[in-house]
Each structure stands twice: as structure tokens, then as C-alpha cells.
Structure 1
Amino acid sequence: MPSKPKANSGKVGKRSTATRVSSAKPGIVQLRRRYQQPTASRRVTVTSSGPIAQHIAFIPLLLLVFVMWCVYRYLFRFPVWFDESIGKAVFFGLPVWLYVSITRSKSIADTISPRYLQSGLWMGLAIGGLFGFAGALASLMRKGVVVQAAPLFASDSFWWEFALAMMTGFWESLFFYCWIMTVIMEKFKNWSLLNQVLVTAVIFLVFHIPNTILRFDLSLIGGQLFLLFFFGLGQALLFARVRNIYALSLSHAIWGMVLLVHTR
């Protein structure tokens, strides 16, 4: 009976090695494809000038809105509810909407995201509570009286004023902080936070000068502007911390109500 040829162990070893190498090649090819550099035509260069180029229309639009706002304040005398709702929606809300629609700025849109609603309201309530405590303490030291909260909360006029204050807080927070301060932080990102906050507070103050001049006597204008500047400064610091329109809107509204209650 003829004997079976012996298998060549050397050839078998070479075949198994070749099989392992060939099976490993697809993985190596995939890794090379994944990590190879793109060609020059497909390569995207990321530079720091992106946000600056994106916000090139910021200053012209801001100046245009300021001029139109001054003209509106000096020429027209509408009821307070109209100014705080429709007027500010047109002059503060519409420019921001147009700006975001044109530039597709995600950083501005994120500040009004509904996912920040609950946390923002809690933060705004906490900051507003500090305003309320400070107002009550100042009233006690100056007049020797404390305003009772229960009769205020039972009054319909209080909640009407609060609704107006919320509209004011929303439109002004959207305009001065969600838009202006966000753009300043991106366009002038080499500035320190202090400089960014100060510039935002100055813009906030400048926009409030026309109404302050029209509403108050000359002897009271300085104090009002001082108060407005430091409020704008505080709101800017809060926005730098939370980037949340809901926190600023509620704190703004409560601050306005504290002034209304304790300065009458």
C-alpha cells in the first residue's frame, strides 16, 4: 500500500502566516484611510477670524437700532404697555431675529434654548430674592417701615405691572445680553471679561439715556443713570456666568418691581 505523502510543515506555516497577513490588511487599510490627511481641495482651515467675519455687521446694525430707538422715544408717546411689549419687540427683538437668521449664530440661539428654562427661572428667582431683600432693608432704614407682601400679591395691578416687567426683562435681556454681549465676547475675545462686561453695561446705559431724560427731572437724572449702569453691570456678570435669558429676564423683572414698590 503506497504511503501517503507527508505534508510539508514549512509550506503550511507559510500559508497560515500569509492568511493572517492578508486578513490583517483590510484593517490596516481602513486605519490608513481614516487617519490620512485630506487633499488640499478638501482640507478645511479653521481660523480665529471666523466669528469676527461672522459678526461684521454687528456695529452698523447696533448704531442703526440706536438711532431709530432715539427717534422713536423722542417723537412718539405711547402707553407704557405698548412700549414694553410691542415697541421693544420691534426695536429689540426684530433686529436680533434678523441677525441670527442671517449669520446662523448658534451661540446666540443657544441662550434662549427651552432646555435652560427651569434652571434659569430658579436662578432668576434667587437673584430677584436678593434684590427684594435689599429693597426691603433699604426701605426699613430710610422710612422705618416694611412693605407688606400679602396685600401686594392680592392686587391685580401688581400682577399687571409684573407682566409688563417680564416683557421688559425678556426683550432687553435678548437685545443687550443674548445678542450684544454674546457678540462682544466672540468678536473681541482677546479682551478681558471685565472689559467685555463694562462695554456691555455702557451700551445698556446709553440706550436708556433718552427715556431717562424724558421721564426724570435734571436733579434726578444722575442718580438714575448711576443705578442703571450698575444694574447693567450686574446683569452682564450674571449673563457671563449662566448664558441664560430666563435667569436675566426674571431677575430684571423682580428688580423693576422692587424699585416700583419701594420708591413710591
Structure 2
Amino acid sequence: MLHVLLSFSSNFVCCYKAADLLEELPQTDYLQVGEAIWLALNVVSNGHSSTNSQTIGVTKIAKSVIAPLAQHNVSVFMLSTYQTDFIMVRESDLPAVICTLSEEFSIFKEENGESIPVDSGCVTNGFVKPKNVTSPTVHPVLSPKNQFCVMSLDPDTLPTIATTLMDVMFYSASLKPRPVEQDLDYIRFFSFSLIDGYISIVVDTQTQKRFPSNLLLTSASSELWRMVRIGGQPLGFDECGIVAQISEPLANADISAYYISTFNFDHALVPEEDIDNVITMLQRRQNGDR
């Protein structure tokens, strides 16, 4: 049986709770902060998280978790990692999330390292989706030509690459974003996450060459990934169904995906050999074709 684990452990949620993190940061007008506090949901099987993001993957939970939340007007912030996938929901939406998912899943919250069953008393957000209404892809998609790698790292070796990490994140050339409306052949994208001791890194193949290859762990297939960026302008956090609009068709086509929501845009990484089919499929949906 699958379970939804509401991961309230301090090691993870403190990274996403603005009220906690901002206390440690200096006040500045340059830092943009979303208004809501978000909580992490992690789909696990038999009480254990997946050990590889490709085992479950965002497309594998698209129909059972992501789509129902979109249908009940719940916004989500998606974060894939090398080990597993996390779905962020607003703290204020948590009762509606539990109500929506409790019919299909057993739901637990984590307290003091233990998983405790959650009362599934149904509290909706009052949203009723009109019948017979489909959710086409409404945002433009862009696919840069550069290739990406999804990797992990032993935390004990992190100091070895600390200088390279800092250089890539803060000092590399071309830090300023290009105009969104441009058709980009190359997009600068670097993702580093440290969650409960587990490290995930997403870099393009050129940046990967700057790191010691003997320290980086990749999936068994060592496949290369191509990106689909969703959004012609910053998406914001109030719109529902963005993740579902991408993940559902990929799930129907049995195409794996590594999904990262960011402050401005969403990004889906798909195996390189599938990129042409993915772009064609999403463009057809955007045009109303099936």
C-alpha cells in the first residue's frame, strides 16, 4: 500500500518555512519571499521512501496525487531530488489536501522521528470543479538545447567541491537572466538541494566537467536529460494545475520526468531520447488537439 507521509521533520521543513529561515538572514529589499508557508508531502511505499527518483518519479504520482490536488484547486510546488520527490503545499491548504487524498492513501505525519496517522476528517476548500472540463497546457513551453545531468554526492565529500559550488552559484559568467520571450538555445540552470542529509545536483554537461567525476553519483543508466521550461512569464504561486498539465501527459506516455518548480518558472527534465515526442505532445495539447 502507498502512503502519503507529511514530512514535518525540522531537518526538511525548516528549509522551506520562510518564517524560520528568514530569522537567520539579514533584512534586505533584494530578497523576494512568497507570502505563504509551505509544507512537504512525500509519497512513500510501505512506509519507506524511494531510494531513486526514477523509481517513483513525478509522472508515477501524477494521476494519484498531483491531478486530484489540481482538480480541488490546490496549488503545489514540485521538487524532485535524486532520492525521491516532494510536493509542497500551502500550510493553509493542508486540511483540503488531507481530505482530497485520504480516500486513496493512508496519511501520516512525522513527529519526533515517528510516523503518526493523521485524522482524515474531511475539510474541503469549497472548490467544485465543473464537470467535463479538461485541463489543457495553457503556458508556453521552451526546450533549450543543452543537456543536463542529475547527480548526487556523499555529504562527507561536500567540502571537496565547496569552492566549485560557490563559483558556479555566485561567480560564473552570464548570471543575469535573458529576456523570457527569447528562444534560448542555451539556458543557465543549476540546482543544488540538501534535504535531510541527502544531496541532489542538476547541472548541464558543460558545468559538470568542472566537478571531480569520481565524487559524483549518477543513476544506473547515466542518461542525459533535456529540459522543458514552462511559462512565458513568471508563473506566481496562485495558479493551480501547472504541474498536472505537464506530468499527466508524460505519465500517460510512460515517460519519466525530474520536475523542479522555482520562484518564477517550472522545469521538467525528461530523457534526451524523449524530448521531441514530449514537445510535440505538449504543443498539441496547447493547441487543443488530443
Which structure has greater helix proportion?
A: 1
TM-score (norm: length of structure 1): 0.27
Larger radius of gyration: 1
TM-score (norm: length of structure 2): 0.25
